[in-house]
Amino acid sequence: MSSIAVKTEQIHKTYTSGPQQVDVLKGVDMEVLSGEVAVIMGPSGVGKSTLLHIIGMLDRSDSGQLWITGRDVSGLDETAMARMRNATIGFVFQFHHLLPEFTALENVLIPAMLRDMHDADEHYARELLGRVGLSHRMTHKPSELSGGERQRVAVARALINKPQIVLADEPTGNLDKHSGEELYRLLLELNRALGQTLLIVTHNEHMADNAHRLITMDDGRIAGQKVINRVG
Ligand code: ADP
Ligand code: MG
């Protein structure tokens, strides 16, 4: 039996902008098992990013419950939530968010520095950069890397603290088709090698075909959820 990495129950979120209220999430129920690659698909504006931010504890729902690695995190205060987030979650965004004045290796190490650096971290950062195919680019700065390479550094950075869960929101949105396909192959390879749970918002069919779980969203709700491949 696999354990449940992420579970939501009746997550609601409303944004207020001026006099307008927008109900973005209208009762989201979903779950992802440990080790799974789950692909979240759906048209623009249905709440995919909002849901990912709530799961990643970057934002809070207005109501409903969220379990991360079996723990109910809905009631945690800011400090406890930040600690849980840093220990459990890695993020890959559409834009790489690398710091321009630092090398690839230093950028990968930033989340480790925010935690508290161990001697092992630099060794692991080098190993991760090797895994994403950038052994020869460790001392390059972001401006000296291609778009695909930058995003691979961002993937290594997401993994440095050994998160159990990696969240990726359209991580190839700024890449050309070839670099995008390469990044998807890499994410699948890393999931197989390291076993972290991966939730990814994408329109990519290769990723969807090779995922374990397909979740579709429509208008603030889960429209469909099915297991298409078993882990392992
Ligand atoms: P998706 O990722 O599926 O495209 P989002 O979660 O980004 O959808 O957004 C869903 C809806 O919520 C959109 O209508 C968007 O305009 C609105 N929205 C997102 N963030 C905010 C915000 N901070 N304030 C107000 N409205 C927002
Ligand atoms: Mg989005």
Q: Which residue of 11, 40, 50 sits with most ligand 1 atoms within 8 Å of its CB, as the best mutation to test the pocket?
A: 50
Q: Please give the pLDDT value at position 1.
A: 56
Percent of the chain residues past pLDDT 70, beyond the cut: 100
- pTM of the predicted model as reported, rounded to 2 decimal places: 0.95
pLDDT, tens only, 125-141: 999 999 999 999 999 99
Q: Please give the pLDDT value at position 155.
A: 97
Q: Which of 40-44, 83-87, 219-223 comes out lowest in average pLDDT?
A: 83-87
Quote the ligand 2 centre to 204 CA distance (angstroms).
Answer: 14
**Mean pLDDT of all residues belonging to the chain:** 95
Quote the ligand 1 centre to 149 CA distance (angstroms).
Answer: 29
Q: How confident is the model at residue 116 (pLDDT cuts 50, 70, 90)?
A: confident
Atom 26, ligand 1: residue with shortest CA distance: 15
Task: Look up residue 203 and give its amino acid.
Answer: H
Q: What is the DSSP letter of 138?
A: T
Atom 25, ligand 1: residue with shortest CA distance: 15
The Cα 170–Cα 104 span in angstroms is: 21
The Cα 172–Cα 184 span in angstroms is: 8
pLDDT at residue 232 tops 90:
no
Burial class (CB in 10 A: 0-12, 13-18, 19+), 12: middle
User: How large is the average pLDDT for residues 33-52?
Assistant: 97
pLDDT, tens only, 28-37: 999 999 999 9
User: How large is the average pLDDT for residues 39-44?
Assistant: 97
Q: How confident is the model at residue 96 (pLDDT cuts 50, 70, 90)?
A: confident
Pocket lining: 45 vs ligand 1, CB cutoff 6 Å:
yes
User: How large is the average pLDDT for residues 69-78?
Assistant: 95
Task: Name which of 93, 97, 89 is nearest 115 in CA terms.
Answer: 89
Pocket lining: 48 vs ligand 1, CB cutoff 6 Å:
yes
Q: Which residue of 49, 167, 170, 222 sits with most ligand 1 atoms within 8 Å of its CB, as the best mutation to test the pocket?
A: 49
pLDDT, tens only, 145-195: 999 999 999 999 999 999 999 999 999 988 999 999 999 999 999 999 999
User: How large is the average pLDDT for residues 82-100?
Assistant: 93
Q: Higher model confidence: residue 17 or residue 40?
A: 40
End-to-end CA distance of the chain: 13
Adjacent-strand bridge partners of 16: 21
Task: Name which of 26, 14, 36 is nearest 164 in CA terms.
Answer: 36
Pocket lining: 47 vs ligand 1, CB cutoff 6 Å:
yes
User: How large is the average pLDDT for residues 33-47?
Assistant: 97
With contact defined as beta carbons under 8 Å apart, do 108 and 157 qualify? yes
